[in-house]
Amino acid sequence: MNSGLRATVVGRQVFTAAVRTQDREETWNRLCYPHGMSSLPNVPETGSLLAPPAPGTPLFRLVWNQERILLHRGRDEMCAFDLAGRPVSWVRHGVVHRRGLDGSVLELVRAPGREGWEQGVRRLAPEEQASQLGHVRVLLEEGWRLLGHPEPLRRAVELDPNQDAARFKSIWRPIMILPPDQYRSLVLQLTEGCSYNRCSFCTFYKERPYRVLSREEFTRHVEEALAFMGAGLSWRRGVFLADANAASLPDAHLLAALGWLHRRLEAPRPADPVFQPGHLSGFSSFLDTFSTLRRTLEVWRELAGLGLDSLHLGIETGSDRVLRVLRKPGSAAQAEELVGLLKAAGIRVGVIVMTGVGGPALAEEHVEKTAELLNRLPLDAGDRISLSEFEPDPRSPYVLEGMADLLDRRACREQSRDLRSRLRFRAHPQGPVVSHYDVRQFVY
Ligand code: SF4
């Protein structure tokens, strides 16, 4: 870090004097990107501002770096914005809210439950979202006034979050789910829906026919996505190719798409305010375990050479009997073979399993066979095992057809613990990350 470029400014007078002598946009760029754009991804340059204390007025503090802008009001309220000015999360009276680019808002509350502290998650209704955005607006306007109209807040003040969310929805189909380590990716929809779409437990794409975007459509989607993200792109790391199974496209199509995308994202773009070569390197995607069985190691290596960095496999279980309950094709043996191929090609692997599936009747077999399968996989540093507790969707065939009795959250949690205790990997960072994957907390 170049300490000479540290842009900490304290006090209204100092900051406004700086603004008067500079073009506003220039000042903003200098404060946020003091090393120039090219160093953006690696330089955590920060700045901060304090409102002059005044009797009866809560203390306002603004802190920013190259990824986020944080506005604090007293000790108990805080709102985070991305550099495009979008409110992304806020804390108020101990309750955390997270807002997606599509405008949806999650409420996260930790409360004592039967098993100690538990995370409550609620997706707010439209009128509740509007009310929350109203609180954010009040906080923002008060901070803007008391801090003397600081440039880092200008985009947030000028942004209409509802219009912004509408624009997002005109570029992306709803993003239904991402792997737990991909929430910060730039999602690009190379395909729509799922090429299989018949798993008994999954309703994500029931209303979305599978479709592969043409080259022209995908090119336009990428350009629109980059333009939409604007300065907010600085928060993103890597690219996630959606929807489900984009990596199962025919070899020639996938190679061509990744080749083009690799060149597009690596090319210097002086016209883009934030985007620089390497910022978004590393492609990721979901992949089923049954549709790429004929893809050779050479092709996987070629894809890795074009930037395919990690693939996320919903293997769900190591029991073939439970797989059949889930109506998911393939087998534990095929999953094992695929993971071996990906690792040999230098592609990192995220494995997702669901606890609770198969119900009480298959519970022991599910845990035993899944632990056996996972322990056979050549996973190491950089890989991930995600344990997801089954959230049955009442509209799914799994529930409607009564394919297995449902286990409650507590039983799923116990299965997760049991499964975890049977894993025999080296501890992270030498071994894979083993984490809880709470799909209720997903918002993009
Ligand atoms: S679980 Fe995956 S493969 Fe199965 S229908 Fe859903 S998206 Fe498709």
Three-class SS of 190-255: CEECCCCCCCCCCCCCCCCCCEECCHHHHHHHHHHHHHHHHHHHHHCCCEEEECCCHHHCCHHHHH
Task: Give yes or no for residue 43 having a pLDDT over 60.
Answer: no
Percent of the chain with pLDDT strictly greater than 70: 87
Residue nearest ligand 1's atom 8 by CA = 197
Task: Give yes or no for residue 2 having a pLDDT over 60.
Answer: no
Ligand 1 centroid vs 244 CA: distance in angstroms? 7
Please report the atom of ligand 1 found closest to the CA of residue 201.
Answer: 1
Residue nearest ligand 1's atom 4 by CA = 199
pTM: 0.87
Class of residue 354 by CB neighbours under 10 A (exposed 0-12, middle 13-18, buried 19+):
buried
Lowest mean pLDDT among 2-11, 76-85, 101-110, 264-273: 2-11
Report pLDDT digits (tens) over 133-176.
999 999 999 999 999 999 999 999 999 999 999 999 999 999 99
Report pLDDT digits (tens) over 278-317.
778 899 999 999 988 889 999 999 999 999 999 999 999 9
Ligand 1 centroid vs 342 CA: distance in angstroms? 20
Report pLDDT digits (tens) over 337-363.
999 999 999 999 999 999 999 999 999
- Write out the residue limits of the CATH 3.20.20.70 domain(s) in the chain: 172-441
Fold of 172-441: TIM Barrel (3.20.20)
Determine phi and psi for 368, rounding to 5 degrees: -65, -50
Question: Could you tell which of 195, 202, 206 is best to mutate to test the pocket of ligand 1, judged by most ligand atoms within 8 Å of the CB?
Answer: 202
Helix (H, G, I), strand (E, B) or coil at 438: coil
User: What value does the mean pLDDT take over residues 13-21?
Assistant: 32
Helix (H) or strand (E) holding 263: helix 251-266
- Residue 194 pLDDT: 96
- Residue 44 pLDDT: 39
H helical segments located in 267-331: 297-305, 320-325
- Residue 281 pLDDT: 80
Ligand 1 centroid vs 347 CA: distance in angstroms? 21
Q: Of 129 and 17, which is predicted with more confidence? A: 129
- Residue 55 pLDDT: 86
Class of residue 214 by CB neighbours under 10 A (exposed 0-12, middle 13-18, buried 19+):
exposed
Which residues lie with the beta carbon below 6 Å from any ligand 1 atom?
194, 196-197, 199, 202, 204-205, 244, 288, 314, 328
One-letter amino acid for residue 394 of the chain: P
Task: Give yes or no for residue 13 having a pLDDT over 70.
Answer: no
Task: Give yes or no for residue 21 having a pLDDT over 70.
Answer: no
Task: Give yes or no for residue 251 having a pLDDT over 80.
Answer: yes
Ligand 1 centroid vs 196 CA: distance in angstroms? 7
User: What value does the mean pLDDT take over residues 365-371?
Assistant: 98
- Residue 66 pLDDT: 86
